[in-house]
């Protein structure tokens, strides 16, 4: 399928203007469905990041000094400009990242929603007058922006991740230098174009594309950057935490997951299988909240496995731009190799593949990075897919008999981002909601994200929250004024 370019970036964007990389180098953004080139982006390095930080630091005092209402107006304008690009942005997300166009359009909507919601919410960021134990003194708190924020995001949700960080940060008066993934630089640069056309003051929102290590290091080492907001793998999060510790910077860390799903014997099996199929194959399984380990009660196990395998077998896999495609490619060849390795490991240790189980290389798919929607049964705790984030379209089914054992096994990993339970028994649902060691629990529900709701993990899945009031607090300091009167 021919994929027409929808956007040619004029450079990276900082200080209110397009810029070439200081070395003049560029790199290609590739389409994972075809292997073709989507476009070029500048290969920025430390010097580019430092120039962008300087722009963000110069813009900060005036941006902070504006009223919240004034910043809100500008963020609505930013959202308007994204809205006028919504079809191009969705196509670009599909071209760079691979998800079906329908899923990309949902992502664009969440992006716009987040800017609008935080534009409103930042008007409600204020402190308190504290009852004082001392008569001739008054204690007042005020909320202040943290300062310049360095943001680093992954490729799997390349537009909404920008909004989840930039909307609250900018709304409360921070300025930002954002580094997108090298897999999806153009999506970020199209959003940068929207910022320029919204007339955001120069330096408030800056995008530097290029070398992750050099740009990351510059953000960590520069004293003007007061906070690092990261979404990505736990391994890279750990590196950034170490670097942030050196300079005592604030951090938000949205890291990897290994989400359990528990189907108790009293669930509505039809509804649960529908939900499970939607959750597992969304974004070809490349979501931090994707179902990684599916625990199914023995009494319903075979029915669930058969119905899920039938669904998986019927999914239309292909280029996300084509009509009717329900699942796109994985991001790169290494991702397909990793998923194939995990499936082979499981099968070698006794798992059975009821559907899929291998790469898809036929016809139009031959140049892309496709893996068949897969359902594995007979999974056990020693397998790689039980312990690592699969990040691919593999539904791994584990049997259980004792509900307490299911909860214990669900919790028996170092991660704690999302979990899901399916049951028609309210007491069991509430108990499971309390017992699962994760930041979010979906109960008969897989749609757990919204601009209004806090999103994030515990254990090695992260620190802090994005979305909701909590997502705004991440970009605010509380300052105390003690007044002698």
Write out the residues near ligand NAD by the rule CB under 6 A: 152-157, 179, 181-182, 212-213, 216, 231-233, 236, 239, 254-257, 288, 389, 417, 457, 462
Nearer to ligand NAD, 85 or 179 (CB): 179
Nearer to ligand NAD, 79 or 219 (CB): 219
Q: What sign does the dihedral 115-119-121-127 (CA atoms) show?
A: positive
Least Cβ distance, residue 349 to ligand NAD (angstroms): 23
The strand order across the sheet containing 175-179 reads: 17-19, 12-14, 205-207, 175-179, 148-152, 225-231, 250-254, 462-463
DSSP 231: E
Nearer to ligand NAD, 332 or 477 (CB): 332
What is the rounded distance in angstroms from the CA atom of residue 289 to the CA atom of residue 292?
Answer: 8
Q: Among candidates 269, 367, 356, 273, which has minimal Cα distance to 318?
A: 367
Neighbours of 299 (CB within 10 A): 11
Beta strands in 125-191 (DSSP E): 129-130, 137-145, 148-152, 175-179
Spot the catalytic one: 96, 174, 183, 288. 288
Nearer to ligand NAD, 239 or 241 (CB): 239
Report the DSSP pairing between strands 259-263 and 291-297.
Answer: parallel
Spot the catalytic one: 96, 107, 254, 466. 254
Distances from the Cα of 39 to the Cαs of 4, 11, 36, 185, 273, in angstroms? 10, 11, 9, 9, 39
Per the annotation, the verdict on 174 as an active-site residue is no
Least Cβ distance, residue 142 to ligand NAD (angstroms): 30
Nearer to ligand NAD, 103 or 254 (CB): 254
Closest residue to ligand NAD in the complex (CB):
216
Q: Among candidates 9, 19, 23, 10, which has minimal Cα distance to 52?
A: 19
Per the annotation, the verdict on 254 as an active-site residue is yes
What is the rounded distance in angstroms from the CA atom of residue 426 to the CA atom of residue 403?
Answer: 14
Least Cβ distance, residue 75 to ligand NAD (angstroms): 22
**H helices within 262-383, ranges in order?**
269-281, 298-314, 333-348
Q: Which helix (H) or strand (E) holds 426?
A: helix 426-435
Nearer to ligand NAD, 203 or 462 (CB): 462
Q: Which residues are catalytic?
A: 254, 288
């Amino acid at each position: 399928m021919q994929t027409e370019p929808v956007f040619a970036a004029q450079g990276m964007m900082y200080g209110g203007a397009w810029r070439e990389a200081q070395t003049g180098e560029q790199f290609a953004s590739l389409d994972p469905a075809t292997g073709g080139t989507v476009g070029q982006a500048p290969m920025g390095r430390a010097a580019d990041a430092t120039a962008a930080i300087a722009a963000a630091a110069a813009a900060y005092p005036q941006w902070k000094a504006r009223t919240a209402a004034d910043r809100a107006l500008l963020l609505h304008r930013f959202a308007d400009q994204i809205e006028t690009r919504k079809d191009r942005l969705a196509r670009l997300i599909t071209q760079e990242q691979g998800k079906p166009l329908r899923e990309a359009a949902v992502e664009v909507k969440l992006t716009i929603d987040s800017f609008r919601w935080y534009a409103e919410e930042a008007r409600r960021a204020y402190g308190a007058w504290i009852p004082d134990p001392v008569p001739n003194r008054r204690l007042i708190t005020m909320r202040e922006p943290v300062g310049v924020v360095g943001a680093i995001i992954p490729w799997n949700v390349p537009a909404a991740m920008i909004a989840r960080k930039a909307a609250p940060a900018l709304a409360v008066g921070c300025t930002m230098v954002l580094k997108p993934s090298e897999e999806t630089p153009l999506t970020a640069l199209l959003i940068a174009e929207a910022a320029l056309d919204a007339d955001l003051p120069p330096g408030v929102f800056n995008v530097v594309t290029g070398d992750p290590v050099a740009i990351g290091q510059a953000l960590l080492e520069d004293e003007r950057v007061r906070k690092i907001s990261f979404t990505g793998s736990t391994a890279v999060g750990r590196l950034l935490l170490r670097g942030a510790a050196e300079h005592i910077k604030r951090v938000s860390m949205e890291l990897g997951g290994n989400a359990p799903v528990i189907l108790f014997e009293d669930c509505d099996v039809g509804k649960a299988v529908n939900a499970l199929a939607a959750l597992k194959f969304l974004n070809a399984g490349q979501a931090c909240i994707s179902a990684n380990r599916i625990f199914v009660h023995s009494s319903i196990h075979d029915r669930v496995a058969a119905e899920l395998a039938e669904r998986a077998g019927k999914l239309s896999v292909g280029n996300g731009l084509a009509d009717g495609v329900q699942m796109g490619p994985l991001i790169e060849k290494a991702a397909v190799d990793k998923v194939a390795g995990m499936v082979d490991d499981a099968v070698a240790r006794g798992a059975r593949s009821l559907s899929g189980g291998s790469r898809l290389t036929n016809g139009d798919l031959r140049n892309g990075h496709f893996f068949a929607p897969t359902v594995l049964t007979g999974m056990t705790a020693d397998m790689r897919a039980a312990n690592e984030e699969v990040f691919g379209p593999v539904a791994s089914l584990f049997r259980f008999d004792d509900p307490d054992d299911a909860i214990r096994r669900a919790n028996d990993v170092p991660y704690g981002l999302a979990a899901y339970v399916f049951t028609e028994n309210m007491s069991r649902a509430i108990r499971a909601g309390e017992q699962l060691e994760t930041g979010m629990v979906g109960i008969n529900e897989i749609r757990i994200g919204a601009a209004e709701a806090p999103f994030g993990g515990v254990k090695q899945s992260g620190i802090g929250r994005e979305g909701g009031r909590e997502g705004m607090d991440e970009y605010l300091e509380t300052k105390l004024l003690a007044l002698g009167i």
